[in-house]
């Protein structure tokens, strides 16, 4: 059932494939594509970059600590929340080659929480997601 609230999907990220698979699951089930908060490193992988741009990704610059950048990100998240969109924000700052969880990626979470507390949404459904497999496709070779 589709939520009447904005949704924040919080997947772990162990591979580039995780986000593509998550987008495919939405597509295969006839659901509106979510907006992926995508790490800046994905710009370097041309095929994945094209796929994510097509799916409505927005890129996060974790090392950009300017007040202007944070304000623009909060406003963009505010628009998505007001439109009751689904946002995908990974827990980790970067994908893991070892299969272990990485460093916390706080920018999108802070923006979502900020928008909740200023009243942009009465409720936000937060759904943890994990995709498990025995071997990381682009892991150590």
CATH number at residue 28: 3.40.1010
Tens-digit pLDDT profile for residues 31-83: 988 998 887 777 787 887 887 777 778 888 877 788 898 899 899 999 999 99
pTM of the model: 0.81
In a domain, 134, yes or no: no
In a domain, 71, yes or no: yes
In a domain, 135, yes or no: no
Tens-digit pLDDT profile for residues 4-27: 899 999 888 777 778 888 888 998
Quote the number of domains for the chain. Answer: 1
In a domain, 138, yes or no: no
How far from 9 is each of 22, 24, 37, 41, 130, CA to CA, in Å?
10, 15, 10, 20, 10
In a domain, 2, yes or no: no
Supply the mean pLDDT for the chain.
Answer: 82
Task: List the Cα angle 93/123/7 in 5-degree steps.
Answer: 45
For residues 110-127, one letter each, b for 16 or more C-beta atoms within 10 angstroms of the residue's C-beta and e for the rest, the string is ebbebbbeeebbeebeee
How far from 24 is each of 17, 51, 67, 103, CA to CA, in Å?
10, 11, 35, 26
Radius of gyration of the chain (CA): 15
In a domain, 83, yes or no: yes
Q: Which domain holds residue 84?
A: 7-129
Given a cut of 70, whether residue 84 has pLDDT beyond it is: yes
């Amino acid at each position: 059932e589709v939520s009447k609230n904005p949704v924040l999907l919080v997947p772990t990220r162990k591979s580039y494939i995780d986000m593509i698979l998550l987008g495919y699951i939405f597509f295969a089930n006839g659901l509106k594509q979510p907006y992926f908060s995508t790490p800046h490193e994905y710009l370097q992988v041309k095929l994945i970059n094209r796929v994510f741009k097509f799916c409505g990704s927005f890129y996060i610059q974790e090392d950009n600590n300017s007040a202007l950048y944070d304000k623009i990100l909060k406003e963009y998240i505010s628009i998505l929340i007001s439109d009751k969109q689904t946002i995908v924000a990974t827990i980790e700052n970067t994908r893991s080659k070892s299969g272990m969880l990485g460093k916390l990626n706080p920018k999108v979470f802070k923006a979502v929480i900020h928008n909740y507390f200023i009243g942009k949404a009465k409720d936000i459904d937060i759904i943890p997601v994990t995709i498990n497999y025995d071997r990381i496709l682009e892991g150590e070779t």
